[in-house]
Structure 1
Amino acid sequence: MMKALVFAAGLGERMRPLTEHTPKPLLLAGGKPLIAWHLEKLAALGVREVVINTSWLAEQFPLALGDGSRWNLRLHYAHEEPTPLETGGGMLNALPLLGDAPFLVVNGDIWTDFDFSLLPREPAGEAHLLLVDNPPQHPRGDYHLDAHGVLHDDRDAPCLTYAGIGMYRPSILDGWRAVIGDAPGSERTPPRFSVVPLQKHFMAQGRISGQHYRGQWTDVGTPQRLQALEDALRADAGPLPAR
């Protein structure tokens, strides 16, 4: 049975003052926490166990979400303190709860109408990433998706933006230290590092695939974008503004 990891440990500094007392994934959009939209999708996909990594205001997550039974899920909380371990460190820290099979990863601070069932159950290589059109705040994008569905770290080619959704093999973290090197935070226990260098490392070997989603997606990174999402969901009217 597939498991999932929801990244929810960020400090939400750009969302202040909203995140002074509420972690960003628990902010409401359309009458429910941002993270609840993901949990509903994961449950519909047939996922039964979800790991949520937490740090800032971590105690609020079990209070708000409980054990996940309302979604027919079993929630596990992987606490990181006092500083979040970033995406790579957070994934490594959660591996004992995720097991040996490929798992789905989703950022807790995005909103999308993407159907998770459109992702492959297993990536062809080390990971399969969802990409979206570049939003105004990230016009250059992240990675180039070629005609064969393979991703490249090529800034000279047209790039799309990583949506914060993907399927990963645990083996992407094998030998992580050799890839990360002496990046600040990697010497800590548990280590803190980004997954981006690992993505780029395996892209150079042709082992990261991807797909382009053209539907609704927003990175809820500022109070203004959260309000735009809220307005769109309340109105239930067409494309979301100011992605």
Structure 2
Amino acid sequence: MKAMILAAGRGERLRPLTDHTPKPLLQVGGKALIVWHLERLAAAGWREVVINHAHLGRQIETSLGNGSAFGLRIAYSREPAGALETAGGIATALPLLADQPFLVVNGDVWCDWDVAQAAPRAAALGERLAHLVLVDNPGHHAGGDFTLRGDRVYAADDHHPATLTYAGIAVFRPEFFAALSRGTYMKLRPLLDDGIRRGLIAGERYGGRWVDVGTIERLQQLDHDLTLPV
């Protein structure tokens, strides 16, 4: 099973930091955001990782190399300036991800969800095409994204408000992106909404630590929390 780390975003809300440093290389707790992901993956037994990039992407390749420093093999999916958004980026990277379910992690989140759980989640997909990790709505996204009944993800309605937010962590079957051509620009949400309508999206609520590092304030708070003495 392979993993993909999404690292192509511009990080507009983190400017001016991201004017010269790609968001995944910003430091928290003494290491780059993306390094936290790589170390967790390696510790859980992963060996092959795909990373997409666009803005200042060469810095990411120079910093991480071929992954051997982490006990991994890293392949890069290079996108044009402006990037392809989440669904487009994943679809473009499919040739590097083979034909089995794979894990996707947003490069700009920090989360202690156990990535070793990706394999059993993939095995349990059955006819479904994706398994999403969801968290309680944070203050900066109080409206949420979805609701969960059992292990099935639903859109919100009058009786079931969107109490959960997509954590940016998921297991996907390649078929989920089969309709997209390489190089297509497309967000992930329309595909998720279509899959939910068709009953093809599973999910789980995760109650551990999760941070969407989308602003300088959240970056600084996470850095502070991770550098506190144990």
| TM bucket normalised to smaller | over 0.9
Unmatched 5+ stretches in structure 1: 178-188, 238-243
SS at the partner of 2:204?
A: strand
The residue type equivalent to 1:195 in the other structure is: L
User: What code does the residue aligned with 1:165 have?
Assistant: I
Secondary structure (helix, strand or coil) at the match of 1:84 reads coil
Which structure has greater helix proportion? 2
Structure 1 Cα separation of the partners of residues 157 and 22 of structure 2:
33
What is aligned with 2:209?
216
- Tell whether the 8 Å contact from 1:143 to 1:155 is kept in structure 2 after alignment: no
Distance 1:94 1:138 in 2: 29
- 1:236 is displaced (CA, Å) by 5.0
The size of the alignment, in residue pairs, is 224
* Counterpart residue number, 1:130: 133
Q: Distance in 2 between matches of 1:164 and 1:152?
A: 17
CA distance 1:80–1:209, shift in 2 (3 Å): same
Structure 1 segment 169-180 matched on structure 2, within 5 A: 169-176=173-180
**Any runs of at least 4 consecutive aligned residues in structure 1 with deviations exceeding 4 A, and if so which?**
none
- Aligned residue in 1 for 2:151: 149
Q: TM-score under structure 2 normalisation? A: 0.93
The equivalent residue for 2:24 is 25
CA deviation vs aligned residue, 1:3-48 (integer Å, no higher than 9, x gap): 0111000001100011110000000001000001111111122221
2:225 aligned with 1:232: yes
- The amino acid across from 2:102 in the alignment is F
Structure number with higher relative contact order (C-alpha < 8 Å, ≥ 6 residues apart): 2
1:155 shift after superposition? 4.1
Normalised by the length of structure 1, the TM-score is 0.89
Provide the alpha-carbon RMSD of the alignment. 1.4
Q: Among the aligned pairs, what percent are the same residue?
A: 49
Shift of 1:198: 1.0
- Take 1:98 and 1:230, find their aligned partners in 2: how far apart are those partners? 32
Match of 2:93 in 1: 94
One-letter amino acid of the counterpart of residue 218, structure 1:
V
C-alpha distance in 1, partners of 2:96/2:39?
Answer: 20
Contact 1:176 1:198 in 2 (8 A): no
